[in-house]
Structure 1
Amino acid sequence: MAAADQPRSGSQAVERAIHLLNCFEGDDPELSISELAHLAGIPVSTAHRLAQALVRGRLLEQDQATDRYRVGHGLATLAAPALTRLGIDAAAPHLYALAAGIRITTSLSVVDAKEAVTMLQARPPVHFCAHQLPRLRQPLRSSASGRALLAHLPAAPHLATELDLVRRKGFAVEEFDGVDDPVRSIAVPVFGADKQVWGALSVQARSARLNDELVREILPAMRQIAVRIGGVVQNSSAPGIFTA
């Protein structure tokens, strides 16, 4: 291989390694090497070579009993300064206090392109169930968190009427069919110190539990915590602007 080709080859390896790490962003906490290769769209031998390099770098871990891979402690260590800078760690106590008070998992999301991405979740000490966990990435237009964000961002004209209602109510609602029961989600916007929307605070549960009465009961607490979180997050971490 010519010397001029080596930087391109090295760059490709780095890009593939990053792509491999991004495969763990979904709901599966552990993946086999064949699953990784399929998700990354690369040969199994290449996936194995990259995964082993990431294990040596502590960015991935491999379960010795199952040979499956998961995110390593090294990645969490690298992320810690960013979480501090963005104010996510300062927001965590408020999120956990809300979860304990209303006894429902609370989630904090920001905009990433055209999706609402969950940055932090806090589970309550009691009354937790899997229905309370939203997908880590949700479309802005069809999720409560997404519409709570969109209502305060530049958006497509055809969404104006719907988003105006969200702005006037101060919260967004989304209902969808779960595997066993319908699920309902409620979200309120989080504004930073610069008065610009920073993120969205949401809760999700079975519709039978998260009924209108409970929504009216927990909304004041959600809004109060959203204000407290807005006071500790950094404006520089504000989400990317949505473009239709």
Structure 2
Amino acid sequence: MATEEPRSGARAVDRAIGVLSCFEGDPELSVSELAHLADLPVSTVHRLAQALVRGRLLEQDPATDRYRIGHGLASLARPALGRLGLDSAAPHLYALAAGIGITVSVSMAEDRDAVTVFQARPPVYFCPNQLPRDRRPLRDSAAGHALLAFSPFDTIAEEHAARRDTRPARTAGLHTDLDRVRRSGFATELMPTDDPIRAVAVPIVGPDKRVRGALAVQARSARLNAELIRNIVPAMRITAGRIAPLFQTVGGATDSAELESR
């Protein structure tokens, strides 16, 4: 049976969602940049962007005509943040970001990925290298390792990963990495790019001893060196301890029964 073509209204909604998705990482984009990212005609993107501005989901800088995320989108997201406990945690996260001069992010486990659910930027020293990707595999990211290493279901998660990857060396490497994270109390990751980026993550452990998420930072490795890591990890741990009781829910992958059923 042929797939039913979306009606014009549904197609417009899909395109508007595509335009909004271009703003992951909170950039400011021109209409031509938006058209390129969304793979849509400039005229279509202009019409959609103006409708989103009227709905307060986007804002347009009057000086540059560039678009950015609007306050209306934050208002819509506030109930979800409240359910996660992130509305109460936000002041602590912004204070940490200001204190260490690096964007602070919170990730939760979902479908064997570490998903970024909140970012707090510092008032100074910000650069795009500090913004994590929206979703990273648990086994391949600093936030993911912090989630796995300090979770009671870590062996289950590792067994799932091992069944997906039959290379013994990689599975053994994951065990070694997680052991190292448990000993040190934090996870690190070096992302090899032209200008390498390093990430550091600590677990957010609730009063019930369950891991609620991971608190992470990332920056150019030339800046986020061993000395800076030693200086900021204690503050990260203190903040993680302060916000842990505020979290109301945990990510889907942190439920061992659910993992076993998959």
- TM-score w.r.t. the length of structure 1 is 0.77
Q: 1:197 aligns with which of 183, 206, 211?
A: 211
3-state DSSP class of the match of 2:247? coil
Task: Kindly report which structure 2 residues correspond to 1:117-156, keeping only aligned pairs within 5 A, or say none.
Answer: 117=116, 119-123=118-122, 128=125, 130=127, 133-137=130-134, 139-140=136-137, 141-151=139-149, 152=151, 154-155=157-158, 156=161
3-state DSSP class of the match of 1:231? helix
**CA RMSD of superposed structures (Å):** 3.2
Cross-structure match for 1:53: 51
Cross-structure match for 2:66: 68
How far apart are the structure 2 equivalents of 1:103 and 1:43?
39
CA deviation after TM superposition for structure 1 residue 16, in Å: 1.6
Q: Would the alpha carbon gap of residues 38 and 231 (structure 1) be closer, same or farther in structure 2, given more than 3 Å must change? A: same
3-state DSSP class of the match of 1:25? coil
Percent identity of paired positions between Structure 1 and Structure 2? 59
Instruction: Output one character per residue of 1:42-80: Cα deviation in whole Å (capped at 9) or x when no partner.
Output: 222322222222122121122334332222222122222
Instruction: Give the conservation status (yes or no) of the 8 Å contact 2:25–2:131.
Output: no
Q: 1:169 aligns with which of 176, 179, 184?
A: 184
CA deviation after TM superposition for structure 1 residue 173, in Å: 0.9
CA deviation after TM superposition for structure 1 residue 136, in Å: 4.0
The answer for unaligned runs of 5 or more in structure 2 is 163-170
Q: Would the alpha carbon gap of residues 8 and 59 (structure 1) be closer, same or farther in structure 2, given more than 3 Å must change? A: same
CA deviation after TM superposition for structure 1 residue 104, in Å: 4.4
Cross-structure match for 2:246: 232
Which residue identity does 2:253 align to in structure 1?
Answer: I
How far apart are the structure 1 equivalents of 2:40 and 2:222?
44
Instruction: Give the conservation status (yes or no) of the 8 Å contact 2:103–2:131.
Output: no
3-state DSSP class of the match of 2:64? coil
Instruction: Give the conservation status (yes or no) of the 8 Å contact 2:188–2:198.
Output: yes
Q: Would the alpha carbon gap of residues 36 and 134 (structure 1) be closer, same or farther in structure 2, given more than 3 Å must change? A: closer
Instruction: Give the conservation status (yes or no) of the 8 Å contact 1:172–1:186.
Output: yes
How far apart are the structure 2 equivalents of 1:61 and 1:102?
29
How far apart are the structure 2 equivalents of 1:16 and 1:80?
24
Task: Kindly report which structure 2 residues correspond to 1:66-145, keeping only aligned pairs within 5 A, or say none.
Answer: 66-111=64-109, 113=111, 114-117=113-116, 119-123=118-122, 128=125, 130=127, 133-137=130-134, 139-140=136-137, 141-145=139-143
Q: Would the alpha carbon gap of residues 36 and 103 (structure 1) be closer, same or farther in structure 2, given more than 3 Å must change? A: closer
Q: Would the alpha carbon gap of residues 26 and 44 (structure 1) be closer, same or farther in structure 2, given more than 3 Å must change? A: same
3-state DSSP class of the match of 1:135? coil
Aligned residues: 234
How far apart are the structure 1 equivalents of 2:230 and 2:64?
47
How far apart are the structure 2 equivalents of 1:216 and 1:161?
21
